[in-house]
Structure 1
Amino acid sequence: MVELLKFHYLPGTFSPSPGVGQEENYSAENGVLYGTTIVYISPAGHIGTLLIKYFWDGKMYRAKSIQFEEAEPFKE
C-alpha cells in the first residue's frame, strides 16, 4: 500500500489504479537479466519503480522476482 496523498498530486488528477510500462530499462549483470519500469498513477505522476529479475526458461525470459521501490515524494 502506498499513501498517495503524500505525493501532493491535486485531487482528481490521478487514478488510484496504477499503471506500468511507459518507460522500461534492461541490464545484464553476471548473466542475469534485470528490468525496471515506472509505476504511474497519472500520465505525469509516478509513485515508484518495479525492479524485475528474469530467468531463461529455455524458450523465453520470465520474471523470477518483482520488487516495488517507492519513490521519494516531492517536497514543497
Structure 2
Amino acid sequence: MYIWKQWKLPRTRVKNLMKLGMPEWKAYRNGSTRKGYWAIAGSGILHHTITNERLARRGYYDISKAYKSLHLI
C-alpha cells in the first residue's frame, strides 16, 4: 500500500503499472480508480503486480517473514 500511496497521480500509477507488466487498458482502468488506499490494498491490482518477491528484490523488508521467524507457530 505504501508504494501505491507514493504514486499520487493517476498518470504515475498508470505508467508504473505498465512498467510492471500490466496491459495498457488494464493499467488505465486500475490506475485511475477513485478507490481509497485501503480498498486498493485488498484488491487484486496490487497482489498481481507488486508481489512480496518483487519487494524483496528491491530491498524492502518482509514483515510476515520476520514475524514468523520471531514467533514459532
Same fold, TM-score > 0.5, yes or no: no
TM-score by length of 1: 0.25
Q: Which has the higher strand share?
A: 1
* Structure showing the higher helix proportion among its residues: 2
Q: Flag the structure with larger Rg.
A: 1
The TM-score normalised by the length of structure 2 is: 0.26
